């Protein structure tokens, strides 16, 4: 099983600042990496797939980068609605898809 | 607009059974592979099962293989998950999810239905 490790577990950032979230795979997943946002009481929402492609209607302030084992989700200028939990997911090893444990992005 | 509405969750005793349903609308249901993904506070997000658009191919996580059965009725635009021999560790929110158009990521999610396995 490919283990996805996200860091940090909690990130405190002020509105308007940049947030950088990391996701590391225990072995290469090439570019088969997705990011999701989840707000309290809601289902996850797809943000990024293919490591760097924004999903439909996702604002340009969200960007994804990386390949192989190390990936980054960057939110360039945090808005109030961006404070949530973010998950990464690898799909290189389908059907043995795995998710990271999440990073909680909170208001500083 | 894609809509996925799960139902059928509830409280069940260990060893019991439950059938989840997911009513889909807003897209050509038969053209999409469908999935169940579950979420617990402790284990986080876990892929459970996938079924192809025509229903001919099914896939399961090792943790549910032999106990859960995924199926679909394309004439009713509905996805199902039959869960037998339920265990405490199956307690979770179960989401009905579409597969992405260019890979095995999860594109559209329902609101989820809570399954609680407890005596």
Among chain B residues, the shortest Cα distance to A54 is held by B107
Neighbours of A60 (CB within 10 A): 7
Which residues does residue A32 pair with via DSSP β-bridges, in sequence order? none
- Cα separation values, B109 from A44, A56, B119, Å: 7, 14, 30
Give me the mean pLDDT over the B100-108 stretch.
92
Which SS3 state, helix, strand or coil, does residue A81 take? helix
Q: Establish if A88 touches chain B: CB-CB under 8 angstroms.
A: no
Among chain A residues, the shortest Cα distance to B95 is held by A43
Give me the mean pLDDT over the B73-89 stretch.
98
Whether the per-residue pLDDT at A94 is higher than 90: the answer is no
Q: Annotate B33-86 with three-state secondary structure.
A: CEEEEEEECCCEEEEEEEECCCCCCEEECCCCCCCEEEEEECCCCEEEEEECCC
Whether the per-residue pLDDT at A93 is higher than 90: the answer is no
pLDDT in tens, A10-46: 999 999 999 999 999 999 999 999 999 999 999 999 9
Whether the per-residue pLDDT at B73 is higher than 90: the answer is yes
- Across chain A, mean pLDDT equals 96
Per-residue confidence at B101, pLDDT binned at 50, 70, 90? confident
Q: Establish if B102 touches chain A: CB-CB under 8 angstroms.
A: yes
Q: Tell me what percent of the residues of chain A surpass a pLDDT of 70.
A: 100
Cβ contact B107–A45 (<8 Å): no
Mutate to test the interface with A, among B43, B51, B103 (most CBs of A within 10 A): B103
Which residues does residue A46 pair with via DSSP β-bridges, in sequence order? A36
Do β-strands B34-40 and A98-99 pair in parallel, antiparallel, or remain unpaired? unpaired
């Amino acid at each position: 099983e490919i283990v996805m490790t996200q860091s940090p577990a909690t990130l405190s950032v002020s509105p308007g600042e940049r947030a950088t979230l990391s996701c590391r795979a225990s072995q290469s997943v090439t570019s088969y990496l997705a990011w999701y946002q989840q707000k309290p009481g809601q289902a996850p929402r797809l943000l990024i797939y293919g490591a760097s492609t924004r999903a439909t209607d996702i604002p340009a302030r969200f960007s994804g980068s990386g390949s192989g084992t190390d990936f980054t989700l960057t939110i360039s200028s945090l808005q109030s609605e961006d404070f949530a939990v973010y998950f990464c997911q690898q799909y290189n090893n389908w059907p043995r898809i795995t998710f990271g444990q999440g990073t909680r992005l909170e208001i500083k | 607009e894609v809509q996925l509405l799960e139902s059928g969750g509830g409280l069940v005793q260990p060893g019991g059974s439950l059938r989840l349903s997911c009513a889909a609308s807003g897209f050509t249901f038969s053209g999409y592979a469908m999935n169940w993904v579950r979420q617990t506070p402790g284990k986080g997000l876990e892929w459970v099962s996938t079924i192809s658009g025509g229903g001919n191919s099914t896939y399961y996580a090792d943790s549910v293989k032999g106990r859960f059965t995924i199926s679909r009725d394309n004439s009713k635009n509905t996805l199902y998950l039959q869960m037998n021999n339920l265990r405490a560790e199956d307690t979770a929110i179960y989401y009905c999810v579409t597969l992405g158009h260019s890979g095995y990521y999860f594109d559209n999610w329902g609101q989820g239905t809570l399954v609680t396995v407890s005596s």
